[in-house]
């Protein structure tokens, strides 16, 4: 069974990510326009992974049956969450073009900094 949490081999750095959908193309429309998903599918998670020997990132969309956020929300209350996987063949630039803004914060492991306020000096 898999977990919806980012991880690497050593997890030297852990963190959070946030993104805003692009106005022009966002993941759901991208997949629909490419004919990869139908009207009764909703993207609930996106995984992105790259490494030192990767020519391209490994990207997959995790999809629930349903027509929107409210429609799939009740499905996600059950454990384990049952999702479909769709592997995507995207270049790094193509992936980031699906978002208007993308932010990643990584903190050194075991310092308890995730989510903490700080002051620059």
The predicted-structure confidence for 53-112, as pLDDT tens digits, reads as follows 888 999 999 999 988 888 898 888 888 888 999 999 999 999 999 999 999 999 999 898
* Residue environment code for 30-42, b if the CB has 16+ CB neighbours within 10 A, otherwise e: bbeeeeebeeebb
Cα separation, 63 vs 70, in Å, equals: 14
Look at 114 and 106; give whichever has higher pLDDT: 106
Mean pLDDT, residues 24-38: 89
pTM score of the predicted model:
0.87
What's the CA gap between 76 and 64, in Å, rounded? 9
pLDDT, position 24: 80
Assess whether pLDDT exceeds 90 at residue 47: yes
Please spell the DSSP secondary structure of 40-107, one letter per residue.
TEEEEEEEEE--TT-SS-EEEEEEEESSSHHHHHGGGGSSS---EEEEE---HHHHHHTEEEEEEEEE
């Amino acid at each position: 069974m898999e977990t919806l949490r980012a991880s690497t081999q050593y997890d030297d750095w852990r963190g959070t990510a946030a993104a805003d959908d692009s106005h022009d193309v966002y993941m759901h429309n991208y997949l629909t326009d490419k004919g990869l998903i139908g009207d009764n599918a909703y993207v609930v998670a996106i995984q992105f992974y790259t490494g030192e020997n990767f020519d391209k990132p490994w990207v997959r969309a995790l999809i629930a049956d349903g027509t929107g956020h409210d429609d799939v929300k009740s499905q996600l209350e059950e454990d384990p969450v049952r999702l479909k996987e769709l592997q995507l063949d995207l270049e790094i630039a193509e992936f980031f073009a699906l978002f208007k803004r993308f932010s990643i914060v990584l903190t050194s492991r075991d310092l308890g900094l995730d989510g903490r306020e700080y002051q620059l000096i």
